[in-house]
Structure formats: C-alpha cells, structure tokens
Amino acid sequence: MTAPERDPGLQPERTRLAWRRTTLSCTVVALLAGKQALHGGATPAGVVALSLSVLAWLGFLRVANRRVQGMGISRPQPMGVRAALTAAACTVALAVFAAAMLF
C-alpha cells in the first residue's frame, strides 16, 4: 500500500519564501562587503576578504537554490545534514568576512 498524497498546504511555500529572504539578506551583506572593500581604494586584505565573501555567498546560494527547488514536490525530503552544515558555515563565514572588512 502506498502512502496517500500529502496536502502540503502553505508550509512549503513559507519555507521557499524564508530561503529566498535569507538569500536576499546574504546578497545584501555580500554587496555591502564589496562596497566596504572598494571604499577608499582596494587593499590586498580587502580584496581577499571580498573574494572569500563572494565564495561564501555563492556556496549559500547553491544550497538555497537546491532547497527551494526541492520544496516544489508534494513530499519534500528533509534537508540533509551536509546541506544544513554548508548553509550554516557559509552564513557564519559571510558574517565573519564582512565584519573583518570593517577593521
């Protein structure tokens, strides 16, 4: 016997929207980091921090995109441990690299 088709209601849509908002926030942080790194001339340390920020942003963007696409089915799979750790690590790294550019 197969499981009946699940009525997902609005939960997947809320999850997709939350991932999109978080991605937008990370994008704003990455852009502000770029502005800060280039403000008053680009220093080598600023360029390195900006490059690392962009890499962290791209990593988060990939995880978020996969998760948003995964929510489009009637029975979305739970987020894997690896994806969750990657998203958390990218978020923390982005915050650290952006904060490092302030000093």
Report pTM. Answer: 0.78
Which range (2-16, 69-83, 87-101) has the least confidence? Answer: 2-16
3-state secondary structure the chain: CCCCCCCCCCHHHHHHHHHHHHHHHHHHHHHHHHHHHHCCCCCHHHHHHHHHHHHHHHHHHHHHHHHHHHCCCCCCCCCCHHHHHHHHHHHHHHHHHHHHCCC
36-77 pLDDT, tens digit each? 877 767 778 778 888 888 899 999 999 999 998 888 777 778
